[in-house]
Amino acid sequence: MQRMNVLVIGATGSIGRLVVENASQKNHKVRALMRSASRTTRLSTDVNVVVGDVTRPETFAAALEDIDAVVLTVNADGQGKEAAEAVYYRGVRDMLVAIGERPVRIALMTTIGVTERNGHYNRTNEGHDWKRRAERLVRKSGLPYTIVRPGWFDYNAADQHRLVFLQGDRRHLGTPSDGVISRKQIAEVLVESLTSDAATRKTLELVAEKGPAPADLDPLFAALRRDPDDALDAVLDMDNMPLDQEPDRVRRDLDRATRTSTAG
């Protein structure tokens, strides 16, 4: 397996810690972006820690030095609309700017139901909208990527580990009936996507159903449709976020991302 220098953003979160563990087990060299050096006790001793924050773009230069891939598992739930924009969107935007034209692989975790705009969650903090806007920036960046939209964390039963990759994001009830998945398997899919050619430029909703975990994820990635090269949204997603109704600052960011991608 290809050994990569992997930066994990959100490394002390419930998914991020497992990403660090999984990537280390697969012999990747792992770097963690953390708000405080005092939190390093949560990670294994062979992880390189860089103190910084997704909302502080000046910390990205050191974090991204010699990095081959980035996994983002950030969380701003319960912190309101301003935090949702800052963490889910501006953090991704600023990271992409810092990467520039380097061929860094991206694995971005958002959520199942991210295209659902009228439910209580999105009306409360606009979390879906800002995550979706971050997805759009990643697609327009021209970088190799995989976007993973997991179902409800750890609501799966003991015999529910058969991974199912969906596309189109049509499960919008906002309950575990939309799909469930273990945190450990989310981390596994994110890390595996970094070295899978079949996962390139793919967006998927990730859930688990009754049955054993697969031994090989490549066939699941290979069965997915790629996002079109010129697309804002994932293949098969509903068209319910018109670009001409987006905030001016978001359209400017997309324009810059597209021009940078074209120039690269």
Q: Domain range holding 83?
A: 5-263
Q: What is the pTM of this model?
A: 0.95
Per-residue pLDDT reduced to its tens digit, 11-29: 999 999 999 999 999 999 9
Question: In a 10 Å sphere around its CB, with 0-12 CB exposed, 13-18 middle and 19+ buried, how is residue 252 labelled?
Answer: exposed
CB 66 within 8 A of CB 98: no
In sequence order, the β-bridge partners of residue 149 are 205
Per-residue pLDDT reduced to its tens digit, 96-108: 999 999 999 999 9
Taking CA atoms, 218 is separated from 134, 195, 207, in Å, by 25, 10, 16
The Cα–Cα gap between 30 and 20 comes to 7
Output b/e per residue, 22-35; b: 16+ Cβ within 10 A.
bbbebebbbbbbbe
Residue 166: which CATH number? 3.40.50.720
The Cα–Cα gap between 217 and 220 comes to 5
Q: How many CB atoms lie within 10 A of CB 244?
A: 5
Residue written as tokens 């079949």?
A: 198
Which range is least confidently modeled, 43-57, 134-148, 169-183, 190-204? Answer: 43-57
Query: So what's the pLDDT on residue 110?
Result: 98
Of all residues in the chain, what percent are helix, strand and coil, respectively (each to 5)? 40, 20, 40
Query: So what's the pLDDT on residue 189?
Result: 98
Per-residue pLDDT reduced to its tens digit, 115-150: 999 999 999 999 999 999 999 999 999 999 999 999
Q: How many domains does the chain have?
A: 1
Whether 40 has a pLDDT exceeding 60, the answer reads: no
